[in-house]
Amino acid sequence: MRLVFIGLSLSSSWGNGHATTYRALLRGLAARGHDLLFLERDQPWYANARDLAAPDFCRLTLYGSEAELADHAAEIEAADAVIVGSYVHEGPGVIAWLAGLRRRGALCFYDIDTPVTLRALAAGGAAYLQPAQIPLFDVYFSFTGGPTLRFLERQYGARRAEALYCAVDEAAYRPTGAARRWSLGYLGTYSADRQPTLERLLLEPASRLPDQRFAVVGPQYPDTIAWPANVERIDHLGPADHPDFYGACAWTLNVTRADMVEAGWSPSVRLFEATACGTPIVSDVWAGMEEVLTPGVELLQARGASDVLAALARPEAERQAIGEAGRARTLRQHTGARRAAELEQCLAGLWETAEAR
């Protein structure tokens, strides 16, 4: 198949989780023999922090405006499917333009921020998507599964809403044998709605375990945060350094955005990246977790500092068993190769239905 993606970023993982998601999915699609073009709006904040300027699994083209995007109209019209993602700059205009082209293939939306999108839609529309545009898509692919899918169909007229969870590039994320440095580490960009959970599940345990070491990695944390002396701050690590970071943690913490906790069924890519590296996870609690990783077996869940302290006190054999179980589940069900097969199957079903009419 010839597939065209228009997404927030493939070239830079700085301050966004979209890039690693697209990389895993497109690498999986390339391995299945598909021809791939990724169109990315050239933005200065990504231009200064590109960690994958020339991918070997697809063609990456930067465009500077909607007018420049039109230079690719012929290839878009000839594609078997065009997939536009959430947070694309001037998204409503891009979507309207795509809908007006004489395309031969499907038009799809890939929402990597579904709960955030739904909150914006309820207020009248997101900067990247208007409510009236949802019925234009043959498939609305969503990072959130569960009841949200039927809500998109019922409330906003989505023709077909399907879960397409994030995934890990299993070739890039695997155990590295890194030396242990931290009892618990967290990797994630600062978010005001995540910060109270981070403080409850990492900073408080760190304060209560002054002889152990902790780490928080990610940009944009305010200078006003009072970090315990045993919490190491690292402003940014590129994807190539993530496996060593996870390997250096006895446990890693997963903290979910408030909108995603409320919606449930919204796994973070960090869940799959850490487990692919064999590092056991302590996660906050949300509905639908058991559909992706089994609590108590493939990860642990925590509501407060005492749960985290209990996890850190587990015997080494138990810690390793949870890490191994999480890695096995992720390699079975949450890789880019698996998501590529799911996307391919869904698109193939569209064509079979069209041919049967």
Return the domain boundaries, the chain.
Answer: 2-167+336-356, 182-333
DSSP 202: I
| pLDDT for the residue numbered 239 | 84
Q: Are 302 and 311 in contact (CB under 8 A)?
A: yes
Separation of alpha carbons 44 and 142, rounded Å: 28
The CATH classification number of 182-333 equals 3.40.50.2000
Average pLDDT over residues 17-44: 94
Same fold? 2-167+336-356, 182-333: yes
**Residue 92: Cβ within 10 Å count:** 16
| pLDDT for the residue numbered 305 | 98
pLDDT tens digits along 96-116: 999 999 999 999 999 999 999
Residue 13's pLDDT band (boundaries 50, 70, 90)? confident
Indicate the pTM of the whole model: 0.89
The CATH classification number of 2-167+336-356 equals 3.40.50.2000
| pLDDT for the residue numbered 353 | 58
**Residue 246: Cβ within 10 Å count:** 27
pLDDT tens digits along 252-293: 999 999 989 999 999 998 999 999 999 999 999 999 999 999
- Partner residues linked to 254 by β-bridges: 283
Residue 27: what residue type? R
Chain-centre distance for alpha carbon 162: 16
Residue 31: what residue type? A
pLDDT tens digits along 116-144: 999 999 999 999 999 999 999 999 999 99
| pLDDT for the residue numbered 354 | 52
All residues at 6 or more sequence positions from 28 whose CB lies less than 8 Å from its CB, including other chains: 167, 335, 336, 337, 338, 339, 340, 341
pLDDT tens digits along 218-233: 989 999 999 999 999 9
Separation of alpha carbons 27 and 20, rounded Å: 10
Separation of alpha carbons 230 and 206, rounded Å: 7
pLDDT top residue among 172 and 88: 88
